[in-house]
Amino acid sequence: MAVRPHVVVIGAGFGGLAAAKRLEDEAVDVTVIDRHNYHTFQPLLYQVATAGLNTADVGYAVRGLFRRQRRVFFRKAQVTGIDLDRRRVELRDLPEVPYDHLIVAAGSRCNTFGIPGADELAFPLYTLEEAVRLRNHVISLFEAASAEPGLVAEGVLTFVVVGGGPTGVEVAGALAELVEKVFADDFHDLDVHRSRIVLVEQGDRLLAAFDEHSGTYARAALERRGVEVRTGTAVESVAVDHVVLAGGEVLHTRCLVWAAGVQAGALAQALPVARGRGGRIVVHRDLSVPGYPDVYCVGDIADIDDGSGGRLPQLAQVAIQGGRHAAEQVLRTIERRPRADFHYLDKGTMATIGRRAAVADLPIGVRLRGMPAWLAWLLLHLVYLVGVRNRVSVFINWAWNYLTWDRGPRLILRPEALPHTPIPHSDAAPRTDQAGTSA
C-alpha cells in the first residue's frame, strides 16, 4: 500500500485552517500543530476585552473542526524550531514531527518598536488570554476607583489606545460605549464621565489603509463618543502610571492598549531564511520559501510581494487565501503539475466604531459608512466565524446587547494587581512570541 504524503501545518489560525480544510479530503495525511487546542477568531477579540462576547464565542476546538476527517490529525504542542534540511518540526518536550510538505502559518506578535516600557506594560490584543486579561484589568480599574474615588485624579480611569488602524479604532469605540452605556449604570456610585479614552496615532489620520473620507468619518464618530483622538503623535516611553508622548506631553494612565503593529514571532527569527519587513519570511510568488520548495509560509509570518513592488498587508483574508493557495501548490507538486503564483483577491476592508457606525471600503469603488457599513460588518463577521454554534451564540449576544445595552461577561476571572500599585509584567502584558500561535 502506497504511503500518503505527510503535510504538516504549523498554526491553527486563519491561514493554517484554510490550508488544512483544503487538504482534508485529498490523498494526504495532514498534521496541524498549535500551542492552543482552539482556533481564535481574532477580529472579535476586542469584543471579548470589552465584555461584549464570551471567550467561547470566538474560540473553536481544532479537533472538533476535523472530527470526521480521519486523515487530519492535531498535535497540541509548542514549536521550538524547524530542521529544514532533515524535514523535521521540533517540539518542546515531544518527539519531532517529520514532513514531506510544510505550511508555516505561525502568526505574529506585538511590535512595540523598541519603545521603552511598552513591552513590559502595554496590553496587546492578539490572543484570548490577552483579551481576558485586558477585560479583567479594565473592570478592576473601575472597581478600584469606586472604592477610592481619589484614584481618578491619578489616571486610573484614563485609557490610552496606541494605533489608529482598525483594531485601535474598534477598541477605542468599544471602550467608550462600555463606559458610557454600561458602566454608567453598573458603577452608579462613580462619576464615570470623569474617565478618558485617548487614541494615539503616529500618522496624520486614522485608518490610513482606507479611503481618506473613511478615516475622517471614523474620527468624527469616535469624538462624538467622547474619545480624544491624537493624530501625528508618537509614544516616546511607557511607565507604570503614565505615558510620555512626543513633545513631552504626559498622560497619566494605568491602562495602555497596544494596537500599533505586529511582527513575525520567534519561529521566523530562528530559521536560516531571508526576512523582510517586521522580521517576516520572504517567499516566492507561489508562497514557497527560497531554497526550500516544499516549505510554504502564509499569513502574518510571510512577506508577500503584491505584484506591484509593495507587500501584502497582514489581514485575515490574505492569510485565508494564502493558506488555500499553499495547499493547492502541495497538491500540484504531488501530482507533478506546474505551480502557480499567488494572486490576492482584495475583497475590501472594514472597521466598526460602535453601534450603527462603521466604514467599509469595497474593491469596486463602493464606500459605505454608518448604518449600512455596520450591518455589512456584522454579516461578514458572522459568515466567517468558525462553527454554527459560535455564529448563533454571537448573533444572540449582539441582538441582546443591541436591545438592552446589558453586556454579559463583566467578570474578573482572576485576581489582578491593584491598579494603584506597580503592575508586574505577567499581569500587564503577556508576550505572544511563541511559535505555533494562530496565524
Amino acid at 149: P
Answer yes or no: are the C-beta atoms of 125 and 432 closer than 8 Å. Answer: no
Distance between CA atoms of residues 313 and 315, nearest Å: 6
H helical segments located in 261-364: 266-270, 316-334
Answer yes or no: are the C-beta atoms of 4 and 283 closer than 8 Å. Answer: no
Distance between CA atoms of residues 189 and 194, nearest Å: 13
CA atoms within 13 A on the CB side of 63: 5
Q: Which helix (H) or strand (E) holds 263?
A: strand 262-264
Answer yes or no: are the C-beta atoms of 206 and 229 closer than 8 Å. Answer: yes
Cell readout for 209 is 489603509
Among 383, 361, 364, 360, smallest CA distance to 373 is for 360
Among 273, 234, 230, smallest CA distance to 118 is for 234
Angle (CA) 319-298-201 rounded to 5° is: 60
Q: φ, ψ for residue 418 (rounded to 5)?
A: -60, 140
Catalytic residue of the set 90, 130, 170, 177: 170
The DSSP output letter for 291 is: T
Q: How many CB atoms lie within 10 A of CB 142?
A: 21
Q: φ, ψ for residue 399 (rounded to 5)?
A: -65, -45
Q: Which helix (H) or strand (E) holds 74?
A: strand 72-76
Active site annotation includes 170: yes
Distance between CA atoms of residues 6 and 24, nearest Å: 12
Q: How many CB atoms lie within 10 A of CB 226?
A: 16
Distance between CA atoms of residues 22 and 101, nearest Å: 14
Residue with cell 452605556: 181
Terminal alpha carbon distance of the chain: 35
Answer yes or no: are the C-beta atoms of 347 and 316 closer than 8 Å. Answer: no
The DSSP output letter for 105 is: -
From residue 280, alpha-carbon distances to 13, 106, 302 in Å are 16, 11, 5
Residues acting as catalytic residues? 170
